[in-house]
Structure 1
């Protein structure tokens, strides 16, 4: 079977890897001119971890990943006020957890693509014609690519979803997020080996030190509008400029080009239509509040590869998993980023209690969620 995959992100590359290994001809169409270099650190575990192991990519992920000691919440002077040790989370998933930058996760799959997979950058999908025997995809340069199946793996703002299923499937959760890296040896020394997050209301900034000496920063803040700013860097400076600790130093070194997006979920009644199907964030984004988007994207790609000839079975198998994680994210939003001082204090108390014997296991298990098996 010839499969066209729109999107060379995590889900798209994982699907291409799996399909290529199974002997299918795969063409990956990515609108960007090259691999992404921006993105935030994620805790990678669950079904995607299992799928990566089965595909033989896990050793490379562990090589590129980080072993973080803890997530530490700090006050305006940088003093630790609460935290959660990562070894407790790791025990909840039998040690099968690694922290890794999203661009490095993509890199591991991209480097290991099997023969039979063609990766095309600068290939933006602008039209889809679904026929009885093939699907034709027109690109922005005027050329056309045809295949037996088109998979939209092009993220929350999926072009394929918009062209085939229409607009209106994004559920905004009330947050904007950004990520960037900068050079500052002093800040790197302060945060090396752990996530450091500001213990603040309605907005927070997190830092972690990378092995090449840079510091990675991520931000999230509440805002009622899903509209993205014309100047993301200026918006980040405006939203976080009054925070203390090392935040002003980070903002002063923030580059012009950064990752910036709304925090949202994708919900639509059907994941496939004719010879077109969606996977990953394109059909079931859970948002960073759930913390398992990459893992679910890879897991979903594995399941789809096993059900190419029965797309209904693919959706029947994977949709309940995605919807359960989406519900967890929406329920936990008020604790992920507290909107009031009293809720912030309540989260701080809960974090401190998590260090008690017995309680730590309960907290860790609630964070990683119920186990998901690939079958």
Structure 2
């Protein structure tokens, strides 16, 4: 059996490893970018993806690449802390099963775990998709042709595979009224000031967060309210325009912001296509289950969703049955997280000073004994079957 996976991000790499290592499939991974993505922000990795990473044997490498974070600190324009949330309490609420890791490092760990037998190609993607009775023919942007038993769209929120084979983007993507960006820069003063904290501006309508990385760089994360679903031609100029009024260390971060090509910038949105598969074409990761950064578990769901899909392919007699089983099992989990994100959207970046004060009060309450357990469960969503239960639910 051969699988062609479009997208060498978290979901695509996780699925490629499972299909080759466990099922023994011939796997080709296509990535339209010329090289692995270096841009991205720090993520809190926990939940079903953590369980899947442990089952896949990649968890020790993720621990090595993770960053210790003592707290999330919300600071005013002078750098004074207005509210904080200790990571140790959050980690205890999850029984210690929590890592803070840069998104590109998570991709690196999954990529380096791939067998050399997996054909990983950069700078190429799908140009045409032709269904066959027992498979798919994919014409690539370089003119070559691949025949596969399964085509996987793991190519993100703006999926080309989804647009070609299932539904156009306007039917699948729900914008949540925010834009987000991430970049890294060098500044020893900022690095020393941030230390082992995740520092965020305590501000209305827009927020910038800073992490100090172990190699001396600083990672910046930004999110602001915007009704415009488009993306700017120059991300650096847009960031300087949107965040130029903020104080504290933000002016230094903006001054050191790299050019447009080295800045990650996108809308905050969710993916909810009418169906996750058609024939021998299936979606995985953000192409079908983007929950947005407001939910906080996109990377975790990407790894876990790939795990469940591979498990269904291993246990079903027909590929089509496996694809339906995967969506039936995993879509309710994703929708739960998407609903949670929409409920909390107005508090993620408060639109008024009054809501900002309410958020500060809520964070102070979260520091009380027992509250961290409730916060952990709230972040994880309603209780769902653990991954190993999902993996055998249809057997």
TM-score where L is the length of structure 2: 0.93
Report which stretch shifted further, 340-349 or 309-318: 309-318
Distance 1:363 1:211 in 2: 28
Distance 1:327 1:17 in 2: 30
Contact 1:2-1:149 within 8 A present in 2 as well? yes
Contact 2:231-2:266 within 8 A present in 1 as well? yes
* Residue 253 of structure 1 pairs with residue 265 of structure 2: no
1:353 is aligned to 365
Distance 1:363 1:59 in 2: 26
Q: For 1:1-375, list aligned pairs within 5 A.
A: 1-22=1-22, 23-167=24-168, 168=170, 169-256=172-259, 257-308=262-313, 309=319, 310-372=322-384, 373-375=386-388
Two-structure CA RMSD over aligned residues (Å): 1.0
Contact 1:89-1:365 within 8 A present in 2 as well? no
Gap change, CA 1:129 and 1:71, over 3 Å in 2: same
Contact 2:93-2:372 within 8 A present in 1 as well? no
Deviation sequence 1:285-334 (CA, Å, 0-9, x none):
10000000000011000000011232111100000000000000000001
Unaligned runs of at least 5 residues, structure 1:
none
Contact 1:38-1:179 within 8 A present in 2 as well? yes
Give the CA deviation at 1:367.
2.4
Distance 2:371 2:61 in 1: 34
Give the CA deviation at 1:284.
1.2
Contact 1:92-1:368 within 8 A present in 2 as well? no
Q: Deviation above 4 Å: which 4+ runs of structure 1?
A: none
Give the CA deviation at 1:246.
0.6
Structure 2 counterpart SS, 1:68: coil
Deviation sequence 1:60-86 (CA, Å, 0-9, x none):
000001121110000000001101111
Contact 1:128-1:163 within 8 A present in 2 as well? yes
Deviation sequence 1:157-213 (CA, Å, 0-9, x none):
000000011212110000000000111101101112110000000100000000000
Task: Give the aligned length.
Answer: 375
Deviation sequence 1:9-48 (CA, Å, 0-9, x none):
0000000011111211110011011111000000000111
Distance 1:133 1:364 in 2: 44
Contact 2:135-2:147 within 8 A present in 1 as well? yes
Unaligned runs of at least 5 residues, structure 2:
314-318, 389-395
Deviation sequence 1:346-375 (CA, Å, 0-9, x none):
000111111111233223332233454112
Distance 1:301 1:201 in 2: 37
Contact 2:167-2:273 within 8 A present in 1 as well? no
